[in-house]
Copies of this chain bind each other. A is one copy, B any other.
Amino acid sequence: MVRIGWRSVAAACALALSPAAAGSADEDGSPLFGVRIPAGYRDWPVISVAHEAGNANDIRAILGNAIALKAFREGTRPFPDGAIIARLAWHYVSSPENDAVFGRPQSFVAGAPTNVQFSVKDAKRYAETGGWGYGQFENGKPDRSATLMQTCAPCHAGAPKGNDLVFTHYAP
Please report which residues of chain A, range 108-136, place their CB below 8 angstroms from some CB of chain B when the two chains form the complex: 108-110, 113
Indicate the member of A59, A60, A63 with the most B CB atoms within 10 Å.
Answer: A59
The binding surface of chain A is classed by DSSP as: mixed
Size class of the A contact interface (CB-based, 8 Å): 35 or more
Per-position 1/0 for A85-108, Cβ under 8 A of B: 000101010010110111011111
Q: Known interface pairs A100-B158, A101-B159, A113-B171. Does A49 touch B52 (Cβ–Cβ under 8 Å)?
A: no
Q: Which residues in B have their C-beta under 8 angstroms from that of A95?
A: 50
Are A49 and B60 in contact (CB-based, < 8 A)?
yes
CB <8 Å contact, B106 and A54: yes
Pairs of residues from A and B, 3 with the lowest C-beta to C-beta distance, nearest first:
A54-B106, A101-B158, A110-B171
